[in-house]
Amino acid sequence: MKNMSLFSLLCMAGLLLACGGGDEGSIPSGTPDIPETPNEVKLSVLPSVLDAMALEDTYEIKVTTTSEGWTAHSTDGWISLTLENGESKEGVIKVTVKENKDAERYGRITVTSGTQSEYVQVKQKGGIRFSVQEVLCTSGAGNAEVTVYESDDWTVQSDADWVTVSRDKARVIVAYTANTSLTSRTATIAVTGEGQKRMFFVIQEGAGITAIPEREGYELVWHDEFTEGTELNATHWRHEVQNAGWVNNELQNYVDGVVNGKRVTELSDGKLRIHCFKGDDGKIYSGRVYAHESEGWQYGYIEARMMLPKGKGTWPAFWMMPCNVDWNKEGWPKCGEIDIMEEVGVVPNEVSSSLHAEGHNHTNGTQVTHAMTIEKAEGEFHTYAIEWTAQNITTYVDGKVQLTYDNDNKGVVNWPYDKPYYIIFNLAWGGSWGGMQGVDESALPVTCVIDYIRVFQKK
């Protein structure tokens, strides 16, 4: 009995082994096939961080993928891509970066193959920049410092024998001799490094004339020589406060006061300086000021001595608007406008005068205007003036006639110039005229300098 039981158990075990035999993992018949998981695409890009210099140049990124084909793109306007062998498993992206004249900037390239994406960070070094674009100095001997940004390896050179320059770490030390002539002068300082060459300017005023010259038949009724205090006298002047885009699509924000520790207007060395600069928030700030806005002057000889800034995007102006305009009834151009001097940096050293009225204005190309090119309007002082009577307006540049226009006695349509007007100085940035060919923010900061404003009227 015991032997039979043992035999039976052995037979049963054999049957069980036979039933469980075969390849490991086999699927019993009648069970549906389970699809295999596709292989995951493997994508790599080298380098994943691209360090670019400030100058325009082309760099390469290697792409490897297990899929057939890949693509790449960037939404940054200063980065352009050329793809090589994009239909293969191995290829190259040629990355061209535009020259950077501003601060360090960052961009991104997206590379995609199948469902996988990788990213390349592009970091471009900033171009050589300066703490100021113009060193403005009085006629006496002196020194100044200019900080150089974004470059550690650079040299500096002056093109004038009256200015010597040297390097002290990240600063240019500028020393200038006294100017005994009556005219101002300009030196160009070149900083060269890492394939770049950038310039700033040292502008020194002339010895000048201390007494206000008399004008035959006229008497001096008001003037500002800008010799008292550090800010404009609020009794005589008012700052405009307006955001960018207020007029002429201009890019600057007009403020009254200090932005990031800088004033948009200040008095120093007997000059009014209107500064235009980029704030820490990325916005452009500048100044626009009005003299005796409520009462103004009707007729007379009005003269200012000015030095205009350099740079693509600048738009300085010395002009006049009528006092107490009822904009609902008159409006522009019916109210009138007198532009004694305007200049845009995109057309350097060409200064113009214009008159605007209902019968002649720039909206339809009928304004009365005239322009002349003068040597170094940007960077040296020149006088701009208007002689205005009941029958004629004539503007002058350094005593030479710029524009002349007679009253045709047909009324306000062509002669709205029979009432008090007030004086305006401003420094715009960009806009429909100043920015007609774009702007170059590497020119910032810039300064328009006014030596004096004088108003004479008939005795």
Query: Amino acid letter at 108?
Result: R
Burial-class residue 135 by CB neighbours within 10 Å (0-12, 13-18, 19+): buried
How far is 103 from 150, CA to CA, in rounded Å? 7
SS3 29: coil
* Pair 434, 346: CB distance under 8 Å: yes
SS3 131: coil
The one catalytic residue in 303, 342, 378, 380 is: 342
Using only C-alpha atoms, the chain has a radius of gyration, in whole angstroms, of 36
Pairing of strands 392-397, 400-406: antiparallel
Query: Amino acid letter at 426?
Result: N
Lay out the sheet containing 43-46: strands in order across. 43-46, 57-65, 90-97, 79-84
DSSP conformational letter for 441:
G
231 flagged as catalytic: no
How far is 342 from 56, CA to CA, in rounded Å? 35
**Which residue do the tokens 């924000």 mark?**
253
* Pair 410, 331: CB distance under 8 Å: no
The one catalytic residue in 337, 343, 380, 387 is: 337
Measured at the CA of 247, the angle between CA 242 and CA 252, to 5 degrees, comes to 55
How far is 88 from 64, CA to CA, in rounded Å? 9
SS3 8: helix
40 flagged as catalytic: no
Q: Which two tokens stand for residue 189?
A: 């300082």
Sign of CA dihedral 62, 63, 68, 73: negative
Q: CA separation (Å) from 330 to 246, 322, 327, 357?
A: 19, 11, 5, 11
Maximum CA extent, the chain: 153
Mind telling me the catalytic residues?
337, 342
